[in-house]
Structure 1
Amino acid sequence: MLDVMMVDDDYPVLELLSEAIPWGRLGLQLSGVYENGAQAFDAATTAAMPDILITDIGMPKMDGLELIKLLKERKPELRVVILSCHSEFQYAQQALKLNVQDYLVKETLDPEELAKVLEELRTGLERERKVTQQHVQLELQVNRGLEAVKERFIRNTIHQPLLGPEHWRQEAEAVGLRLEAGWCLPILVYVETYRSVLKRFVSEETLRFALSNVIGEVTAERAPGAAAFAYSAKEWVLLLPHEAGLKRNPVQQATDLALSIQSALRRTLRIGTSFVLGGSVETPETLKAELNRLLETRRRRFYWPAGTIVKLSAAEAPFSTDDLFAQYESRSEQFRSILLGKRVEQLDPAVRELASYLSAKRFAPEQVRDWLLKLLLDLRLKLQSLQYAKPVYSADILHDELLEMDTLDELSDWLTEYFQSAMSFAEEAKGHARRSEVVVALEYVSQHLDKRIGLEEVAEHLHLNTSYFSRLFKKETGRTFIDYVTHAKLNRAKELLDQTNYPIGKIAELLGYDNLSYFIKLFKAHLGVTPVEYRGAKGS
């Protein structure tokens, strides 16, 4: 479906069109409605650009013409429909200069007319995209084939017996690596916070393609003759040829290249990277040995801060042999006390202090993960013994999540979020009595936040009379069932606004609201701000 953004300071118009236009039948999704151009521009630049923009002209903070100009600069193929009170020629003329597809006057507006315009725009966009997609697909196939050859080359160099220096050099030249200078300095690139990066790019293939483009462009500009290879989606190898005896140190060349790639990836893709610089080698055999040494730094990078650029010789410090489990009881009691006491202000300092201790001691990463897994599982059992709500993560999921943490900084951020979730479970549980029917009802709500949840269906699920269940729930929780469901959904909405880049329309859909306008009004009524304003405040 194509995303539509609607902007008008006349809220009844937004309401009318939200309800009157059959968005789904037209193959469209109303991803956001906004009351001025500034809100709409913030949403488009922080979440997702729309495919079609419907906007008024005269609005506070930023008018429609300025909004169109700014969004068109970012997305030239954007389709635009203007809804305006102005029928004067000068406004229509300005709209034509901005390549607006249609200009409708509100006083004579018929929703059916707008629906026809939107259907034509959707058809035209789909036709253009089909042609563009065919060209992109062909380019992707060519690039995919070349990248696969390059990945196979670097993996064979690292893991397979070499067939001979001359044969290897011929293969190297075939994948773009020029070694006339004789010497080569290998560099290993790590993608930081890989889990969150992959979520943004959805698939490894898309992420590889994006990284390959940026790394390849910077390498070609800053180090002609060098070559970049994907060892995996989150680990890349750069091979930097150089001559012996040059006045300029090849390590300095490698550092400059790393800084340039780091800056370009952060600026264009919002991806952080760390680099390990190997030593200069002269033969395929010594290169193979150096690449294997570079890959052994995976465990060492657990304690590196973001943006590290380090020589291989400085990255091989030993891990501590001290007993981490000597800290277990005191740390377990500390976090249990914080969770049960709802001392949220102590949570982040406690996690950071633990991280500082681990970093100073430098325990082996696998020992840290095992220790944390035991800590979290034990805390979970203690919370369950108090009849708290069931935790979100199973033991297997916890284990897998911890394994995916490449650095201590990433693990610390995840741990804070995990404990905050546990604290919210504890807070909910402390406010509720221990009636099993209510506990089951709360679990049912938490498992069905993506759907409409009615009092009758939950009462039926519990095999209770609706009126009896309603009175029981109010007595045990202090609030009506509908109020509790709304509260739970809006809390989840805040999490999605904080932790994802989903459009507002997508978040409403994920919470079972098929009327975007109603969701926005509900959010504002309970929290005092619209979803876009909430996200903007959190991001500032």
Structure 2
Amino acid sequence: MYRAIVVDDDVAVLEFLERLIPWNEMGFELPSVYTNALDAIKEGDEAYPDLVITDIGMPEMNGLTFIRKLKADSPDTRYVILSCHDEFQYAQQAVQLGVQEYILKETLNVDNIVSIVKRVKHLLDHDHDQRQEVKRLHDQAKDTRSVRKEKWLRSLLSDPLGDDQSLLKQLQEYGLNPKLGHFIPVLWRMHSFQSAMFRYKKEDIVKFIVENAAEELLNDEPDVLFFSYSAQEFCLFYAFKKDLTTNPYDKLVRVSQMLQKAFSKYLKLEFSVIVGEMATHRAALKQHLSDLLIMADQFFYSDVPVIVKARELNIERTEEDLFLHYSDYAERFNRLLIDENRGIVEAVDSFIQFIKSNRFQTSTVKQFIWKLVLDMQLKLKFSIEYDKEKVQQTIGQMININEIRAWLIQFMNDAVVKAEKISKNSKKTEIIDAQKYVQIHLDRKITLEEVADLLHLNPSYFSRLYKKETGENFIEFVTRLKMEKAKELIVDSDRTVEKVALMLGYDNKSYFVKLFKQHFGVSPSRFV
């Protein structure tokens, strides 16, 4: 719907145009009519009209002056002049001002005005379509340029055959002055990718808004170029001429602080930044950028977004094997499900603190959590609630330890609810209590009589009840759980078969090996 206004000091003309012309049917709204141009200008400051129908001979400000004034602020507005003066100079001035129609009030009637408004509507539609097409082409060109920039950046990192001349030519095409001779790369890593995806839904949208915002913010910063590398990582290149009067690193820190604050305030996205080393040729630029991508993994342990220089970044890594602790943490988290308690936050925080204090490799932490979660999924049959591939992708996208913490707490809460639901669906609470007891005491020798006594049941009755409810003998259940735990302990550690047997309550190694072979079809030594 277009917006129209009518300005005429003749009240009868205003009433005629306001009441008898079917504005809505023709795609216009007519919110106001005015008896003088000054009132129209005051309201026009808030919302410029698409169509203005105005008289020429009005007090205080005539129609032509009014059009000149409005046209300076609203160049796309279309104009129709009403006049009692059949004089050539008015018509000539109207044409010079770009007025679409010039009609005499003596010829004014409904059909005449409707015909004129329809013609103007056609012109406005054409203007709108043209603007949309120009915007589409502009966005397409920007998008294509963005894709080309990203492709070039990846080519720089992967192509061993590139030369300095082609590098300089491409940087010049993207807006950097190659004659300055010195370049510094800066890597931008998103602080929380999960929150970005929650807000913007798609990776392409994240890249688009970040790169476009950067271009706007860097408009007054010469020789600075912003690239997207992925939806999580972006690069900034700064070209400069080396001299003793300015420090390029100080400028980059200032520019980075400005962008960091703007991204946080307007896009609600937070970034950590590493300012790289100076390069004068392609090979050095490639190497420095590759180093920055590796260094950025250190941001995994940052509690807040930071800006650091590469030369000042202290890379800490532990030599300890995280998976040596797998059995311990798997048991702790499984115990939460078995006991159905609510100490989830404390357990997750203890685990996260252990990870933080040792600063394990990011990829190793993600593999560890994926295995931990997968084992719980298999135990609770989470195939519907948690799609395994989606979980793996979600964990892989996390780029900060605090994202891992929040997600793991949510997963454990859901898992406990699932465990409770399984318990409630059971026909006999005695069966659930017996199974919980076994899972908690796998390190001991467990007998049917012991558990029956615990449940205040006759051993023979308990044996028949367990078989009826589960389709499995109680001792078979105990043995199955112990053998599955035995395999896990053997595979995930350097423990001997004898030690694992003792950990699960078997003081006779040969008997343990026999049970293991019956259950898995192979000797436990095959997994050592």
TM-score, structure 2 normalization: 0.53
Q: CA 1:203/1:375 → structure 2, altered by over 3 Å: closer, same or farther?
A: closer
* Structure 1 pair 163–422 and aligned structure 2 pair: CA distance change class (3 A): closer
Query: Match for residue 274 of structure 1?
Result: 272
How far does the alpha carbon of each residue in 1:165-199 deviate from its partner, in whole angstroms, 9 at most, with x for none? 33322221111112433222110111232244234
- Cα separation, 2, equivalents of 1:399 and 1:145: 31
Cα offsets for 1:416-458 (capped at 9, x unmatched): 11111112222333333349xxxxxxxxxxxxxxxxxxxxxxx
Kindly provide the amino acid, as one letter, of the partner of residue 407 in structure 1: N
1:225 to 208, 223, 226: 223
The answer (yes or no) to whether the contact 2:177–2:223 under 8 Å persists in 1 is: yes
Query: How far is 1:239 from its partner?
Result: 0.7
Render the CA deviation track for 1:207-249: whole Å, top value 9, x for unaligned. Answer: 222111111122233x321111112232211011233234443
Q: Which residue of 2 aligns with 1:366?
A: 363
Answer yes or no: is the 8 Å Cα contact 1:297–1:316 preserved in 2. Answer: no
What's the counterpart of residue 418 of structure 2?
A: 425
The 5 A counterparts of 1:406-421 are 406-421=399-414
Moved over 6 A (4+): 126-132
| TM-aligned CA distance change 1:270 to 1:326, over 3 Å | same
Q: Residue type matched to 1:136 in 2?
A: K
Of the candidates 274, 294, 319, which is equivalent to residue 321 of structure 1?
319
User: Is the CA contact 2:194–2:403 (under 8 Å) kept in the aligned structure 1?
Assistant: no
The equivalences for 1:199-278 within 5 A come to: 199-221=198-220, 223-278=221-276
Residue identity opposite 1:333 in structure 2: E
Structure-2 change in CA distance of 1:269 and 1:165 (3 Å): same
Q: State the 1:162 CA deviation.
A: 5.3
Letter in 2 for 1:182: G
**3-state SS in 1 of match to 2:324:** helix
Structure 1 unaligned segments of length 5 or more: list them: 1-72, 78-125, 436-540
Q: Shift of residue 391 of structure 1?
A: 5.6
Superposed CA deviations along residues 87-138 of structure 1, whole A, max 9, x for unmatched, are xxxxxxxxxxxxxxxxxxxxxxxxxxxxxxxxxxxxxxx9999776544322
For 1:143, give the aligned amino acid: K
Q: Which residue of 2 aligns with 1:401?
A: 394
1:242 aligned partner, one-letter code: F
2:353 is the counterpart of 1:350: no
Distance 1:336 1:297, change over 3 A: same
- Give the alignment of 1:458-537 within 5 angstroms: none
Q: What amino acid does structure 2 have at the position aligned with 1:375?
A: L
Residue 392 (structure 1) shift: 1.5
User: What is the aligned partner in structure 2 of residue 336 from structure 1?
Assistant: 334
What is the CA deviation profile of residues 466-524 of structure 1, one whole-angstrom value per residue up to 9, with x for unaligned ones?
Answer: xxxxxxxxxxxxxxxxxxxxxxxxxxxxxxxxxxxxxxxxxxxxxxxxxxxxxxxxxxx
Measure the CA separation in 2 of the matches of 1:275 and 1:134. Answer: 37
Q: Which residue of 2 aligns with 1:20?
A: none
**Number of the residue aligned with 2:184:** 185
Relative to structure 1, the CA distance from residue 270 to residue 434 in structure 2 (aligned partners, 3 Å threshold; closer, same or farther) is farther
SS in structure 2 of the partner of residue 322 of structure 1: coil
SS at match of 1:208: helix
Percent identity between the two aligned chains: 23
Structure with bigger RCO (C-alpha 8 Å, 6+ apart): 1
- Tell me the residue number matched to 1:499: none
Is the partner of 1:431 in helix, strand or coil? helix
- 1:141, distance to aligned residue in structure 2 (A): 0.8
Q: Give secondary structure in 1 for the equivalent of 2:320.
A: coil
Question: Match of 2:278, SS?
Answer: coil
Larger radius of gyration: 2
Return closer, same or farther for 1:128/1:378 CA change in 2, 3 Å cut-off: farther
- Are the aligned partners of 1:226 and 1:241 in contact in 2 as well (CA < 8 Å)? yes
The answer to whether the Cα contact below 8 Å between 2:192 and 2:399 also exists between their aligned partners in 1 is yes
**Aligned residues, how many?**
308
SS at 1:321 equivalent: coil
CA displacement at 1:163 relative to structure 2 = 4.5
Residue identity in the other structure for 1:380: Q
CA contact (8 A) 2:301 2:401 kept: yes
The structural deviation recorded for 1:285 is 2.5
Amino acid across the alignment from 1:173? Q
Q: Which letter does structure 1 place at the counterpart of 2:370? A: L
Q: For each residue in 1:374-410, what CA deviation from the matched residue of structure 2 results, as whole angstroms up to 9, or x when unmatched?
A: 22233334445xxxx7662243333232222222121
Instruction: Trace 1:130-209 onto structure 2 (pairs within 5 A).
Output: 133-161=132-160, 163-209=162-208
Alignment partners' CA distance in 1, 2:326 and 2:320: 13
Specify the code of the residue in structure 2 equivalent to 1:427: E
User: Structure 2 CA distance, aligned partners of 1:127 and 1:398?
Assistant: 50
Shift in Å, 1:324: 1.8
Q: TM-score, normalised by structure 1?
A: 0.52
- Find the counterpart in structure 1 of residue 53 from structure 2: none
